[in-house]
Structure 1
Amino acid sequence: MKVCWRSPQAPGGKSTGCRSKASMSATFKLQCHFILIVLVALRGEGRYLELREAADQDRFLLFGSDLKRALEGEQPYRRALRCLDLLSLPGQFTFTAARPQLHCAAFFISEPEEFISVRYDAVAIDCQGGDFLQVFDGWILKGEKFPSSQDHPLPTTERYVDFCKSGLSRRTIRSSQNVAMVFFRVQEPGNGFTLTITTDPNLFPCNVISQTPNGRFSLVVPHQHRNCSFSIIYPAAIKISDLTLGHFRGLPFKKPSVGCAGVGDFVELLGGTGLDPSKMTPLAGLCHPFHGPAQMKIACDNTVVRMVSSGQHINRVTFEYRQLEPYELESPDGNSIREFCLSPL
């Protein structure tokens, strides 16, 4: 099984291949299959145990979040890093090449309200011989980025930090959201590197990939001209319980006559088969403050709640989400979106 990603060293951003079609959709879920399985494993779900081999190599991933936090407080977590890996908790991780490894990527994800910091502890790679070690601020899968270029505060070129160019002058790199990743190539057996992953509080998390298929979250954008996305890599039911838009100095924003056209502050629900929210289909727009509930089922591989803010106001949206059950995908009813992105199971 392979996850597709863009190698920053490859001409034209060449991507690796993907595994053949199995029981999930033929696009995004095939490309993200490894990540989806491990994210489910992090919650102890048993639905996708066909990838038990990955979990067996690291049974710590199967612990619940409460137990993980308790163990984190007792001792630093250490383990070897694999060529293709996903990690959801702080610790020290060492990669040592047993054979030439040409296309490797490690995905890091933390709680929504945290930044991720990647620190180089030791690096032994041959930059002149073609090795590389790069930290990317966000995730990339098959050339699609999260956060999208429209939503991230930095241009794409500045989201890469290349060890072979900066060395240890930038020993620690901090992400702008709860996900980050490392691309690397190590060709000489015995060479490698050690990284320490830590997290810091993020008072106003903006762009988030959910660790879980179910939960509750509030996006708050205080007087900032930016777009914030909350991504759920599952078909999901979204229930919005509260939406506050356009409040400035106690004055409520005037409601537009029709739709959200021309409104600087609004929330939209997106669905699609890729990772980049800017390439997804807008399915609903909300530009009137209200107290819910308002709900919709979106049968897409990826479901996103996205807030667009002008920077003049304090905007807030609170919502609950849950993964759709198979029977809901087979026989949707009520307020649901099916035709754009239903993925057969």
Structure 2
Amino acid sequence: MFSKSISAISILLLVVAGAFHVARAAIANDHHQQQLINEAANILAYEAGAKTSFAISREHYQPITDCMFVTSESGPFSYVSTSNSDDVCGIYFLTDPDRTVEIHFDSYDVPCDHRGLLAVVDGWELNGELFPNEGDHILPIKDRVTEFCGKNRWYRSKKIFTSSQNAALIQYRVPLRGRGFVVSARYPKNPRPCNVLSVSTTDPFTLRNYGKRINCTLMAVYPGTVQVIALEVGSISPSHSVARMTETGTLRKCDTMSPQDQVQIGGSRDLDTTKLDVIDSICGIDSKSDIKESVPYDVTVVRLISSGYCDNSVTVAIRSIIDNDMLEAISGL
């Protein structure tokens, strides 16, 4: 990635201020049509429509004017440098949990000889921290970042990149006035979502491993209450020709009882879930679980750890901690 990372001040605006203001706005809206929006800072916009169409005329380009820009729209988006600054900026794409992000560079003019650079990240990066982390992703870090520069016009082949989850990032440095790029996005269905950056403060989501040896993480960038709705972690997959276990209820302290198949609930101060502070670890078979855990951290995390010998799943909802005084105390706003 870029040697010069996005500034810590901008990161705090996105992760801390943005998360808390967005959570307050979402809670105030109708729960069936809520939009995670902070228009003043342009920090986070979640909109359901116009996710697949590229049939937009050039005069309808959406100009990118903020260094930290988050969107779930299709675009097309245009960036034109207004100075010779070598600041590094980012476009953060976020979509539904069961979709991926497909990024199309329609054209770009980013001179290599002026240290111009474009980078596409499979996931989100903030201040050197990655989501999903290396241990939870199907690809090594070196295969999740593509850097390039130069010039590509409309009549040439587009550069296309597809993420592994519902979040992706373009980082760019265009230190020459008048140069830039045009980019669009599509959001194809993901039949087996694993790692998910939450876009809702109410909707439940099911993490599952599909019988594979893989870790899957649901992350929300706000302090929240995790409600476990259903749990099936530790039952043997039918492919192993062993009968499923009967309901055991929710078992606790599974980090010592069943470390290879468990659900970790916790929080962190940034996107790196390897630094997760685990509040609870659970496993077992419970179709009517009523577990609730409050996570008073900047980031709320539910992580499903799977050995590959079990067909694991957990259904949870992460609801924002709605008490304003508590939010302000945690965020320091």
Q: Secondary structure at the match of 1:114?
A: coil
Q: What displacement does 1:41 show?
A: 9.3
User: What is the distance in 2 between the residues matched to 1:219 and 1:236?
Assistant: 17
1:247 aligns with 2:247: no
User: What is the distance in 2 between the residues matched to 1:116 and 1:316?
Assistant: 24
| Superposition pairs of residues 133-148 of structure 1, within 5 angstroms | 133-148=118-133
State the match for 2:15 in structure 1.
32
CA RMSD for the aligned pairs?
Answer: 3.5
User: What is the distance in 2 between the residues matched to 1:257 and 1:38?
Assistant: 34
Match 1:294 to one of 268, 291, 312:
291
User: What is the distance in 2 between the residues matched to 1:190 and 1:98?
Assistant: 6
1:321 aligns with 2:318: yes
Q: What displacement does 1:282 show?
A: 1.0
Q: Is the 8 A contact 2:22 2:38 kept in 1?
A: no
Q: What displacement does 1:45 show?
A: 5.3
Distance 1:169 1:157, change over 3 A: farther
Distance 1:175 1:165, change over 3 A: farther
State the match for 1:111 in structure 2.
96
Q: What displacement does 1:78 show?
A: 3.9
State the match for 1:5 in structure 2.
none
Q: Secondary structure at the match of 2:274?
A: helix
Deviation readout 1:59-118 (Å, 9 max, x if unpaired): xx87x84xx427977965741123321111222111111212421111110111100011
Q: What displacement does 1:259 show?
A: 3.7
Q: How many residues align?
A: 309
1:69 aligns with 2:49: yes
Deviation readout 1:6-53 (Å, 9 max, x if unpaired): xx231xx6552416xxxxxxxx8556246437855995958xx99654
User: What is the distance in 2 between the residues matched to 1:74 and 1:170?
Assistant: 13
Q: Is the 8 A contact 1:274 1:280 kept in 2?
A: no
User: What is the distance in 2 between the residues matched to 1:35 and 1:221?
Assistant: 31
TM-score (norm 2): 0.80
User: What is the distance in 2 between the residues matched to 1:169 and 1:181?
Assistant: 21
Distance 1:257 1:86, change over 3 A: closer
Q: Is the 8 A contact 1:37 1:51 kept in 2?
A: no
State the match for 2:169 in structure 1.
181
1:131 aligns with 2:143: no
State the match for 2:226 in structure 1.
238
Match 1:204 to one of 192, 201, 206:
192
Q: What displacement does 1:163 show?
A: 2.0
State the match for 1:16 in structure 2.
7
Q: Percent identity?
A: 25
Q: Is the 8 A contact 1:147 1:276 kept in 2?
A: yes
Distance 1:96 1:173, change over 3 A: same
Q: What displacement does 1:122 show?
A: 0.4
